[in-house]
Chains A and B, each alone.
Chain A
């Protein structure tokens, strides 16, 4: 790759990136709360309204996955990469059915993480810890995807990658430690503005430069525009699996629980799809790059095509703007992810098993340290795993976190599942998933299941089905043997404000 440094481009990038760093530190003072407490540091005090929740979740969910990984897959595999659209369509019905209830029970009982819920719902600190560890491990490849997204943008500008990435990384580590969830929430507003401008310019200006949409799609090989029938099963299983796992990730739950009311969560399920339009438009950039004859770089392969497209067609300063948009667009979710993973560790591992007598201040401090450690784990993951399509980082984590669906999502609706059966189901699901991911070397999340007539599908789903069979079958078996169900609470807790609710700080 021959890249020359352009001063104006670098200046714009540096100003924007420096600006959000300042905002990140200043965020500690926004809607001021006691940042030595985990609900404040890690959940913004649970008082974000519909609109703030909307752009926080938008900033949280539409990540380097959207801006880098999806167009790369469209570039390399054509319409198969568009599975991201069905995925980001059907995820909203899933959210609507589960998350408002989870919000309500969390508000009533003061939960910060999914594991807090699991612990009381199943009366099982063990299951809660297992769900917590799953969340933390699953986030590592997903955070790695964000750092990778920043890296491809920096590389395209031709500045020394290692040095600049280190700077970006240190900024990320420090401002999340100082400001917690407030930093990415404030920056999310800036990120959204930068991304929308970049994308709208890209989908209007690039076709003008390239000769119109008709010309672009005429120059994409016809085979790339539709799906060969042999990929049908891969396509729908990726979409369905992703829609089921997205809101099991700790950062999605953190983003949801920081809302101020159940209605804010319900409304968000209806208004968040507008970000999916954005995702759809960005996915098309993969086709634009094909039509424009962009060559994937040696170092980053197809993952580099969006920055390369911007570099080739945008005027220098605006390319700098676009690279800053992608980098900041990756930084926000990386921050939220590490905050949420740290919440989980601090509450459900540290407080539960290591030092139950620790103070609230200690709990928040542990979270701050862990959020940094997790980011380094993500950095190590990038170095250890080289992948053709970085998108599979997200689905690898997803295949793991999907195995917590019975313990979290199903438990929101059903109180009858047995804790030991659910733990056994989790063990089967996680064991099988891990085996498959290791066998594929994390390079892809597709697997051809011989016993299913060589179905080539997303590898997380068959383990989930095994998981469900064990959880349901095990529950039925234990009841038949006369084992009584664990104490739990009834449906009212998911529906109405508790009369003496754990009051939000005022």
Chain B
């Protein structure tokens, strides 16, 4: 395969001026939601205990397993919020 060439495509170049117009990226604010799992799981005092247990499983363990599911839900939410609202095409974001 050839090296992908230098910046030769005029259409892309027009989109790509470093200080030029930015393609609109929808709902980047929703990315802040992704900080929630960090806070919930990186601060052990929140869950560093054995009780209450579920079916014998200590709180420490099931709390983290629940957060796996919650994190998947948060990611799905963010994915849905950021999807382009109109326009065809797999990879389009912003104006089509």
Which residues of chain A have a CB within 8 Å of any CB of chain B?
37-39, 79, 82, 85-86, 88-90, 92-93, 96-97, 104, 108-112, 116, 120, 212-218, 222, 225-227, 232, 235-236, 239-240, 261-263, 266-267, 269-271, 273-274, 276-277, 280, 284, 360, 363, 415, 487-493, 495-500, 502
B85, chain A: closest CB distance, angstroms: 15
Q: Can you list 29 pairs linking A and B with CB atoms under 8 Å apart?
A: A85-B41, A85-B64, A85-B68, A90-B41, A93-B71, A97-B34, A108-B4, A109-B4, A110-B4, A213-B55, A214-B56, A222-B50, A226-B60, A232-B44, A261-B90, A262-B91, A267-B79, A273-B72, A273-B75, A277-B69, A284-B61, A490-B15, A492-B12, A492-B16, A496-B15, A499-B12, A500-B11, A500-B12, A502-B4
B65, chain A: closest CB distance, angstroms: 5
Contact B56 A89, beta carbon cutoff 8 Å: no
A100, chain B: closest CB distance, angstroms: 9
Task: Known contacts A263-B91, A267-B79, A273-B75; decide if A489 and B7 are in contact (CB<8 Å).
Answer: yes
* Residues of chain B with a CB closer than 8 A to A108's CB: 4, 12
A366, chain B: closest CB distance, angstroms: 14
A415 to B31, CA, bound (A): 20
CB nearest neighbor in B for A233: B44
B40, chain A: closest CB distance, angstroms: 8
Q: A218-B56, A227-B48, A496-B23 are in contact. List 8 more A-B contacts (CB 8 A).
A: A39-B1, A82-B61, A213-B56, A226-B48, A236-B43, A262-B91, A487-B7, A496-B94
The 8 A CB mask of B60-78 against A (1 = contact, 0 = none) is: 1100110111011011101
The interface centre, meaning the residue of B15, B37, B61, B74 with most chain A CB atoms within 10 A of its CB, is B61
B61, chain A: closest CB distance, angstroms: 7
Contact A92 B75, beta carbon cutoff 8 Å: yes
Q: Taking chain A's interface residues, is the majority helix, strand, or loop, or is none over half, making it mixed? A: helix
Contact B41 A235, beta carbon cutoff 8 Å: no
* Residues of chain A with a CB closer than 8 A to B55's CB: 213-214
Taking a contact as CB atoms closer than 8 A, the residue among A261, A277, A488 that contacts B65 in the complex is A277
Contact A217 B37, beta carbon cutoff 8 Å: no
Contact B68 A415, beta carbon cutoff 8 Å: no
B16, chain A: closest CB distance, angstroms: 4
* Residues of chain A with a CB closer than 8 A to B57's CB: 213, 217
Taking a contact as CB atoms closer than 8 A, the residue among A240, A360, A488 that contacts B18 in the complex is A488
A90 to B60, CA, bound (A): 17
Contact A225 B50, beta carbon cutoff 8 Å: yes
Task: Known contacts A109-B4, A239-B41, A239-B42; decide if A217 and B90 are in contact (CB<8 Å).
Answer: no
A215 to B57, CA, bound (A): 10
Task: Known contacts A226-B48, A226-B50, A232-B44; decide if A490 and B20 are in contact (CB<8 Å).
Answer: yes
Contact A497 B91, beta carbon cutoff 8 Å: yes
CB nearest neighbor in A for B95: A496
* Residues of chain B with a CB closer than 8 A to A97's CB: 31, 34
